[in-house]
Structures are given as C-alpha cells and as structure tokens.
C-alpha cells in the first residue's frame, strides 16, 4: 500500500515536472490539491503554510504560488509584484482567539500496540486500564474524560455489565470512548457518550479507504475483503455527522480519519471531540501529519478540536 501511494503521488509530481514554465507548474500544483483519488484527501499541499504567517485557504495558497512564480520570472524591481501577492496571501486572523469549552476535559493519551489491542488475553487488562483513566479523571475533578478510538476493543453495546458500569461512573464524570457498535449483522465504528447514567452512540460517517471500506465496485470489493480481511464486510456508517450536547455545549463527534474530511465540518462547529487509534501507523510520521491536518481544518472552520489518540496525537487543537 505504501508503494502504491508513493507511486501514485510520485506520478503527480512527475507530470508537474514536465512543464518548465513556473506559472504552469503553479497552476497544476494548485489543481492537484483538489484531486483526491479513491476519496483519500491527505494530499493537501497548503499544509506547508499551517504553522506560518500565511493563510491556508485555496485562494491564499494560489496567491502564494503566484508570488513565487513572479519572483522566478521577473527581474530586479519588477519583483515588487511578487511581494504584493505574497502580502495578499498573509493570514490576517492570526491572534484571534476561538471559543474553547468551559468544561475541564481530560484527554487520554495511551501507547497500546496494535499487535495486542484485540487479543482476548489482553482484554481484562485493557478494560482495567481504561477504568483507571476514568477514575483518575474523576479524582482530579475533570468534567469530561475522553478515551481514544476503539479504547474498548469490543462490541460495547453487547457487553451489558460493562455498559452498566460505565453508566454508573458517568454519574460522576461524562465519559466519551471509542468502541464498536453492533446492529443486527452490521458493524459500526462508533463513539459512546455516557452522560449522567444515559448513553448516546455516534457512528462514524466517513470510512478509511481500504481500512474500513473498499472504495471499488462490488466485485473487487468482495475479492479484496476475501483475500485480506477473511471475508469481513465493510463497516456501516451514519448518514450525517453527530452533534452531542454536553451541559449546554454542543460538540461535533469525529473518529480519526473523518476528522480530516470536509464533511465533518459542515456548519462550522465551534467544538469537536475527535478520537483516534494511530497504532496502525506507528512508527511513522502519520500522527504528526494528522495533527497538522487537524490544525488546517481548525483554522479553516474556526473549530476547537479535543483530540484523544492512542500512540500519538493527543492534544487540544485551535
């Protein structure tokens, strides 16, 4: 898969490199930023501007590329035109504060290996560790505790004893945790919100290509699932993002990959709770890239993101 992705994006840059004219290269580079093969949108070149003084909107990135092209083509004093476009691409909203939650939120940060996460022999220890995190947050007087994606490696709604224990604990602290959800013969990647003895389930909306769904016609989908996933079916999804009200504040729910997709920011939510399991990708730069992507969407949509992750990435992003 790494070779496939590398070859694909390498082809993009090869096509851009065919053209000598800087303006043609800039236009193609900007154009490719709109192209997301198989629904995978992590090629966003304007991410390079996230931690700079420049803006990250497409039009600002376009002006930034135009200014570089003008610097290359023009000579001496004429380069002032390049400076003008560079100034126009600045982010003039730097320093403006966003609305953060009034609640004290504990974000768990765990380092559990994917090799043992779903092992039956590790199940009880994993449950104990999760409960210890919740009890620690209660002891430290937090209002909300957020555990990572699939923190409970099980179909949690089928585990009545565990559900009852979490409901009881939620009378002392609001618990947000990732786990699978079973409905008939379908499986969902979900987030459970335990609030004052009640539970609300938020299902994932956008699945990971080739991880949670095969974005190919039915014949190839079945072939790949049979070859690599023991005949398992794709996960099912919710039709729309889920908003959860917690003590007067509304949080948009997002699970890992979908927190880096436009669909989850419809309506520009002020607050978001995102959970991830990055154990699939470590050791790699994926947690760092994910964090930059979350920062990019936070800037664009003015959203404060409370992100709890396993194996890197836990932080408040705004």
3-state secondary structure string across the chain: CHHHHHHHHHHHHHHHHHCCCHHHHHHHHHHHCCCCHHHCCCCCHHHHHCCCCECCCHHHHHHHHHHHHHHHHCCHHHHHHHHHHHHHCECCCCCCCCCCCCCCEEECEECCCHHHHCCHHHHHHHHHHHHHHHHHHHHCCCCEEECCCCCEEEEHHHCHHHHHHHHHHCCCCEEEEEEEEEECCEEEEEEEEEECCEEEEEECCCCCECCCECCCCHHHHHHHHHHHCCCCCCCECCCCCCEEEECCEEEEEEEHHHHHCHHHHCCCCCEEEEEEEHHHCCCCCHHHHHHHHHHHHHHHHCCEEEEEEECCCCEEEC
Residues annotated as catalytic are: 149, 204, 256
Calculate the alpha carbon distances from 88 to 50, 92, 235, 298 in Å. 16, 9, 44, 21
Question: CA-CA distance, 196 to 207, in Å (whole number)?
Answer: 30
Distance CA 132, CA 134 (A): 5
């Amino acid at each position: 898969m790494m070779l496939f992705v590398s070859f694909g994006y390498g082809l993009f840059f090869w096509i851009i490199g065919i053209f000598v004219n800087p303006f043609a290269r800039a236009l193609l580079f900007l154009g490719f930023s709109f192209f997301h093969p198989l629904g995978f949108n992590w090629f966003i070149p304007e991410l390079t501007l996230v931690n700079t003084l420049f803006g990250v909107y497409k039009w600002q990135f376009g002006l930034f590329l135009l200014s570089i092209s003008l610097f290359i083509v023009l000579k001496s004093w004429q380069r002032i035109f390049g400076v003008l476009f560079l100034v126009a691409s600045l982010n003039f909203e730097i320093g403006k504060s966003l609305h953060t939650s009034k609640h004290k939120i504990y974000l768990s940060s765990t380092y559990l290996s994917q090799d043992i996460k779903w092992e039956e022999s590790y199940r009880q220890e994993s449950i104990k560790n999760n409960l210890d995190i919740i009890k620690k947050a209660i002891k430290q007087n937090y209002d909300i505790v957020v555990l990572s994606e699939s923190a409970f490696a099980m179909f949690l709604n089928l585990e009545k004893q565990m559900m009852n224990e979490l409901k009881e604990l939620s009378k002392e602290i609001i618990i947000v945790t990732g786990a699978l959800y079973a409905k008939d013969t379908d499986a969902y990647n979900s987030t459970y919100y335990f609030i004052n003895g009640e539970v609300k389930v938020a299902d994932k909306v956008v699945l990971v290509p080739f991880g949670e769904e095969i974005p190919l016609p039915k014949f190839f989908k079945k072939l790949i699932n049979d070859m690599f996933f023991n005949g398992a079916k794709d996960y099912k999804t919710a039709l729309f993002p889920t908003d959860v009200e917690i003590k007067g504040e509304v949080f948009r729910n997002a699970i890992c990959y979908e927190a880096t997709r436009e669909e989850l920011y419809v309506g520009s939510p002020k607050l978001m709770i995102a959970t991830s399991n990055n154990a699939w990708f470590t050791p790699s730069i994926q947690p760092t890239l994910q964090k930059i992507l979350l920062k990019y969407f936070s800037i664009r949509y003015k959203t404060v993101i409370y992100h709890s992750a396993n194996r890197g990435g836990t932080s408040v992003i705004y």
